[in-house]
Structure 1
Amino acid sequence: MNIKIKRIILGVCTIILILVIYLLIPQVSNPTPNYETALTYGIPVSEKINNILTPTIKPKRTRAIMVMQNEKVIYEYGPTDKIMNGHSTRKAMLSLLYGIAVDQELINLDKTLAQLEVDEFIPLTTQEKSATIRDLLMGKSGVYLPASGEHDNQITQRPKRESHKPGTYFFNNNFDANVLGTIFMKETGISIGKFMEDNLAKPLGLQDFDSNNVIIGSPWFIPKKKTMHKQYYIYISTRDFARIGAMVANNGKWNGKQIISEDWITKSTSSYSDLTTNHINYGRYDGFGYQWWTASDTNTIWTDGYGERFMIINRNKNLTLVEQNFTGNSLLSSGFWLINKNMDSGLLNLMKAHETITSTNYNNSYNSN
């Protein structure tokens, strides 16, 4: 073999090695913040509920589950400290950040897209620009344009442009969610990650978070939609996710301190849409607040994300149930998951556990704490 061929082979091998290393680099890594505080563990759930929640067959992918009541962990399964992509649960978390920013008088929810000088590569119309931040939070912007990260009925059932005026019709629209990210950073002058770390992670004592856990712009190696409004991704561990939910369940308080005003928690988790009259079937949800789903039959608040991740909050019972499934961190692991699309889920068990815990005949000593 001559020297020229050897150099070509060496060059190709080097390129392949660099590519493999690049594909293996994690989007985020598990930090150990100096502000972290350990969670408190209460009396575990009954054996009956433990049997409901614990998978009888090993899940096909990494799953973590946590249940908290009165700020205490009462059930835990899997690697709850593992950082995972929260997918659409990012929307409810951003809603919480909006509450803090509103209380700090950094954001006025009644500002319109026109006043905020928000536009898109496909120019917005005068009607579309009349939408307010509040309309976007409610999923009622009336702007129906392609957006990063959308899928399923967000694409196939998107209404025609200007078919509904802002504030009049709910549509689960990634345009609204992504623009909320753009507006938040513009109005506060702070990145979502930094604001979340300073105003949520530190006061709560999150154990696996720092500002780099929030990525602006798609981490996927697939063609991206041309848009002015990048999708933001929040990578979070299950135990941190559950702690945030427990704070919401406790009316915005954590460890005796008001992290987010009770007024915002109430407003943001109240429904402003009757989804039973909507021509799109939203399954178990019949209402929508400020980026939170609601289910009146169980008196619960929800956020969920692609890849089977769920949070169920019952404020009356100060109860939070969370499940997350790992959908990849590096480009390679994310790509393998996208190809496989394994939607293994314990949601039905999570719902059954909630029903059992909140039933009148369920007696466990932690309920009286």
Structure 2
Amino acid sequence: MRKLFVWSILTLMLGVFALVTVPRVWNPSPETQTAHSFADFDSSQIGALWPAPGPDDRKRARMILYKGDVIFADGPTDLIMNTHSMRKSIMSLMYGIAVDKGLIDLNKTLAELGIDETIPLTAQEKTATIRDLLMFRSGVFLPAAGEHDAQITDRPQRDSYKPGAYFFANNFDANALGTIFVQETGYEIGAFMDAFLAKPLGMQDFQAENVIMGDPWFMPSTDTQHPHYHTYMSARDFARIGVMVAQEGVWRGQQVVPESWIALSTAPHSDLRDNHIGYGQYSHAGYLWWIKDADGTVWTDGYGEHFMMVDAARDLVLIERNYTGNSYLSTGLWMFVYGNRSQSLNGMRAAYKWLVQERL
């Protein structure tokens, strides 16, 4: 009996260990992958302005692409990482493709779509359209999966603003857009992304299974009808998205996202200076993209210090990715060690300034 008990405990411990250490996603080797092209460019000055982390710091990947060619790359650019809120800009691009295919009508309301929430939506909230959600102007101020910081502490009172009237970057809008996307297109998010973004862009480290629906922990943190869609991508694959946006939806001669959607989604639909929350360096927001008027750049960013900067006028893309775990254990360790640590954008900004003023 004692031996059986011991073996039962050991088996349980091994099972738990396997569960928490097995990666959530794996690096694939898609048949449609294509390598990046590299320009003959002296990047030593960039490395000095934008130094690599120390040996005891997190895994960090950085790239700069000019006119589609890589002019600087550092760190594990092929390592798949959770994109966190950068997923939202990807969703914006997929909406553009779906609208072009006639699969989605942006003017449909939540009521018409049959969209509700565990905490039932009010009559006013149900008048929000898909377009309102893309602009973070739904007027739905409810708890949502994956939210943090100002999304929780500075959430306005319910029905305090009508849909379309006020900008609030919240996860209800982003997550509900995922629910609506699957409902209206008939595609799972990962499958659509693989077919209409990853394959046309020749991504090297992406497959449909890199999008995981739901909370990453054992117990969901929020009771909701709209799960968080975790999207895992490498820096070198995400950089392709930046180049495609900089080139008006084109990648190596192929129109991947309609040019009109790139223009519409990266236009300044919301003035963030008229908001009760300070959104840092950003002055405006588009359809799930951030805009910085000071230098005319478009950004996407995510928790854990994930950033991509697109300067379409110069066809220039800068990206930084930080590894935040790919299993229950590694994600938990990252949150414990690095979760409250912040690195500045000074290195990226310095490299960008030098390129613009001295080289391009």
Instruction: Normalising by structure 2, report the TM-score.
Output: 0.97
The total of aligned residue pairs comes to 359
Q: Is the 8 A contact 2:53 2:60 kept in 1?
A: no
Structure 2 counterpart of 1:28, one-letter code:
V
The question of whether the paired residues in 1 share the 8 Å contact of 2:46 and 2:72 is answered with no
CA distance in 2, matches of 1:73, 1:33: 21
How far residue 53 of structure 1 moved from its aligned partner, in angstroms, is 2.1
Distance 1:344 1:283, change over 3 A: closer
Q: What is the Cα deviation at residue 253 of structure 1?
A: 0.6
Take 1:139 and 1:237, find their aligned partners in 2: how far apart are those partners? Answer: 26
The secondary structure found in structure 1 opposite 2:181 is helix
Instruction: Structure 1: state its 5+ residue gaps.
Output: none
Q: Unaligned stretches of 5+ in structure 2? A: none
Aligned to 1:11: 8
Partner Cα distance (2:53, 2:164) in 1 = 46
Give the one of 195, 219, 226 matched to 1:198.
195
The CA deviation at 1:47 is: 2.7
Task: Determine the C-alpha separation between the residues in 2 that align with 1:275 and 1:175.
Answer: 19
Q: Is the partner of 1:126 in helix, strand or coil?
A: coil
Q: Give 1:1-369 correspondences, 5 Å limit.
A: 4-55=1-52, 57-58=54-55, 60-342=57-339, 343=341, 345=343, 347-359=345-357, 362-363=358-359, 367=360
For residues 284 and 221 of structure 1, the distance between their equivalents in structure 2, rounded to whole angstroms, comes to 35
In structure 2, the CA distance between the partners of 1:298 and 1:58, relative to structure 1 (3 Å rule), is farther
In 2, Cα distance between the equivalents of 1:204 and 1:51? 31
C-alpha distance after superposition, 1:85-143 (max 9, x if no partner): 00000000010000000111111111100110100111111110000000000000000
Work out whether residues 68 and 75 of structure 1, in 8 Å CA contact, stay in contact via their aligned partners in 2. Answer: yes
- 8 Å Cα contact 2:267-2:285 kept in structure 1: yes
State the Cα distance separating 1:56 from its structure 2 match. 6.3
Task: Give the match's secondary structure for 1:40.
Answer: coil
Contact 1:269-1:301 within 8 A present in 2 as well: yes
Mean Cα deviation higher: 36-45 or 99-108:
36-45
CA distance in 2, matches of 1:294, 1:153: 19
Q: Percent identity?
A: 50
C-alpha distance in 2 between matches for 1:223 and 1:231: 10
The whole-number CA distance in structure 2 between the counterparts of 1:56 and 1:88 is 23
Q: CA–CA distance in 1 between the matches of 2:263 and 2:78? A: 29
Q: Tell me, in whole angstroms, the C-alpha distance in 2 between the residues paired with 1:341 and 1:105.
A: 43
Give the Cα separation in 2 of the matches to 1:267 and 1:166. Answer: 19
Q: Which range moved further: 177-186 or 40-49?
A: 40-49
Cα distance, 1:58 vs structure 2: 3.4
1:152-211 Cα offsets, whole Å, 9 max, x none, are 110000000000000010001100000000000000000010000110111110000110
**Residues 22-70 of structure 1 deviation map (CA, whole Å, 9 limit, x = unaligned):** 1111110000001001110012244322311232633611000011111
Once the 2 structures are TM-superposed, how far is the Cα of residue 345 of structure 1 from its aligned partner? 3.2
**In structure 2, C-alpha distance between the alignment counterparts of 1:136 and 1:121, rounded to whole Å:** 18
Give CA deviations for 1:249-299 in whole Å, capped at 9, x if unaligned: 111111111111111001101111111121211111111100001110011
In structure 1, C-alpha distance between the alignment counterparts of 2:53 and 2:217, rounded to whole Å: 33
Deviation of 1:221 after TM superposition, in Å, equals 3.0
Q: Within 2, Cα distance between the matches of 1:222 and 1:308? A: 25
AA aligned to 2:5 is: I
Q: Secondary structure at the match of 1:279?
A: coil
Distance 1:208 1:355, change over 3 A: same
Letter in 2 for 1:170: F
Q: Shift in Å at residue 346 of structure 1?
A: 5.7
CA contact 1:137–1:176 (8 Å) conserved in 2: yes
RMSD: 1.2
> SS of the residue aligned with 2:240?
helix
Q: Which moved more, 1:72-81 or 1:215-224?
A: 215-224
C-alpha deviations, 1:190-244, integer Å up to 9, x for none?
Answer: 0010000110111110000110000111122354210000010110000000111
Q: Name the CA distance, whole Å, in 2 between partners of 1:183 and 1:106.
A: 11
d(CA) in 1 for partners of 2:296 and 2:8?
61
**TM-score for the superposition, normalised by structure 1:** 0.95
Q: Secondary structure at the match of 2:110?
A: coil
